[in-house]
A and B are shown apart, each in its own frame.
Chain A
Amino acid sequence: MNRLDYIVLFATILAIPLYGLWRTYNHPNLREYLKGDRTIRWGTIGLSVLATQAGPITFLSMPGQAYESGIGFIQNYFGQPFALIAVCAIFVPIYQRLKVYTAYEYLGQRFDKKTRLLGGFLFLIQRGIAGGITIYAPAIILSALLGWDLNLTIWLAGGFVILYTVVGGTKIVSLTQRYQILVILIGMALAFGIAVHRLPADLSFTDALGIAGKMGKLQAVDFSTDPSKRYTFWSGILGGFFLSLSYFGADQSQVQRYLAGNSLRASRIGLLFNALVKVPMQFLILLLGAMVFLFYQFEKPPMFFNQPTYQRAVESGSGPRLQALQAQFDEVFVQKRELLQNAAKDPNWSVQVQQLDARARAIRDDTKKILEEAGAAPKSKDSDYVFITFVLQHLPHGVVGLLVAVIFCATMSATSAVLNALGSTTAVDFYRLFWPHGSDHHYVVATRWLTAAWGLVAIAVASFCSLVENLIEAGNILASVFYGSILGLFLVAFFLRSVRGSAVFFGAVLAQTMVLVLFFTTNIGYLWYNFIGCVAVLLFAWILQATVFRSDAPATIPT
């Protein structure tokens, strides 16, 4: 990165929050601080919901995912449109009608105080840790590749977010997210255009797609019912539906975004916008990864993208073994490139290229083993470094700064929504419950302090955590372990009208315990925990109500 890149980077990441502070600086009451001033339209809500979901992990890891395994990951989002429609039809009207600040406040009205606290508590644990991962994930990659200090990068990404989120509350979060997601979309579109432009001049875009397809990178939809396959149409529809329903219906970081709407209509259209835009957007991000893959078929890629880790292994005495592998890797690359350049003349090119590609992958696996033996085990998958390596090494100056700003914008937008939600939930569902006689101003100040405290917790988590799994999956696994039970609480509230507070509370505690036991003792695919946790709460609550808590007073259903 040169001076131009740094100017673009800092101008972009500072200008948006400063504009937000200028637009929103006032002395809000609690409703304005937690829900905005009810002037937020559907467009801002739609972009805000999109920005909250699409954190830095999406833009760093997803192209690498396509580079490594193709674009089949898109199927994980197939359940989302159905979930968003269910949220529009069931959750949003209830939240709007009851004028709640948080989703868990509704649980208190429908059941009792302890169930409200349980819902809030599960959310706080899950999101408190996830907020740290959101900051840590891009920081570890950027600090490694750019040579920045890790803690400084964490503070750069997290510190400014804490400041503006604390000052501006929900309104500044929605406003800044609108511009941050626009910067992100422009940056990713530029990267896509440049990746396609950098392919060989005699290769048309259709031919390029043909090559990527023959190399197994473009299977977007797979109707297979084979349970061993990780991404299929069916697992995406079912698993994705429960994950999305819980995320959009019961996760305060999203609920707070659409409750800020100036009407029920604005909230609903904002969500429906996401139902239609999400899949095409993720498709283009994954296709960008496939284009980067193609680019590296003609331009020699690093044998291992995480170069700092690679260099550590070389310095610790593994240099000769790695050099031998590098020689093999270079030879495979040259053969593969020749075959692809002459693809029109050789009808059997695809079989041979696939064989060479498998050999290149095997060499990379051997490299990883050597790195681990040398004590230089990477903290995240090598595929997470693919896209940012492409950006830093092959994009023009200025655009590099913009793309690094994209990563920071994504971190800031996702983190601000999470901190806003964590502060609101702690203030409304815990602090105000136990300290009910404060003034409106008192609760605004308390929410600000609690938001700042959660920001420091996120930075502390980011400073101390070290990832061993893929960055995308670390967040999804954590969410899936808790989301099922949280969603179960809400579905019992909506659909099992005879169930009362104690039954659903103990049902959810049992279900969450069961999910945690399953998580630590079995190898069930993580998306299934959403389904298992949710169904377990429904079942346990119903059974407990019919047996142990049969004599409880009838529930009061808020309308």
Chain B
Amino acid sequence: MSMHDHPPFFSTWRKAYWFAIALFAVEVALLYAFTLRFS
């Protein structure tokens, strides 16, 4: 069995990874805004 046997399953996880990256980007943006505000 490989990931390619289940395209919808793989696609769901791919979306989850992108979602995690997007949330992390928001975290970094907030930290940067915090830096600009208080430095």
Contact = CB atoms under 8 A, between A and B. Distances in A.
Given A276-B23, A280-B27, A218 B35 contact: yes
A36 to B, nearest CB: 23
Contacts of B38: 209-210, 212-213, 218
A374 interface: no
Contacts of A268: 13, 16
B13 A81 contact: no
Q: Range of interface residues on chain A?
A: 20 to 34
A238 interface: no
B30 to A, nearest CB: 9
Nearest to A209: B38
A85 B21 contact: yes
A276 B24 contact: yes
Interface string A272-283: 100110011001
A233 B1 CA distance: 39
B13 A283 contact: no
A219 B35 contact: yes
Question: Main SS of chain B's interface residues?
Answer: helix
Contacts of B17: 85, 88-89, 272
Interface string A252-284: 000000000000000010001001100110010
Contacts of B39: 213-214, 216, 218-219
A221 interface: yes
Interface string A61-92: 00000000000001000100110010011000
Given A97-B1, A212-B38, A213-B39, A275 B31 contact: no
A221 B32 CA distance: 6
A82 B21 contact: yes
B11 to A, nearest CB: 13
Interface residues of B, number: 19
Interface string A83-118: 001001100010001000000000000000000000
Given A88-B13, A88-B17, A220 B35 contact: yes
A459 B27 CA distance: 39
A219 B32 CA distance: 8
A97 B1 CA distance: 8
A220 B31 contact: yes
A103 B8 CA distance: 28
B31 A89 contact: no
Nearest to B27: A279
Contacts of A393: none
Nearest first, the 9 closest Cβ-Cβ pairs linking A and B are A213-B38, A220-B31, A81-B24, A221-B32, A218-B38, A85-B17, A220-B35, A213-B39, A221-B35
Interface of A: 74, 78, 81-82, 85, 88-89, 93, 97, 209-210, 212-214, 216, 218-222, 233, 268, 272, 275-276, 279-280, 283, 559
Interface of B: 1-3, 13, 16-17, 20-21, 23-24, 27-28, 31-32, 34-35, 37-39
9 contacts: A81-B20, A81-B24, A213-B38, A214-B39, A218-B34, A268-B13, A272-B16, A276-B20, A279-B24
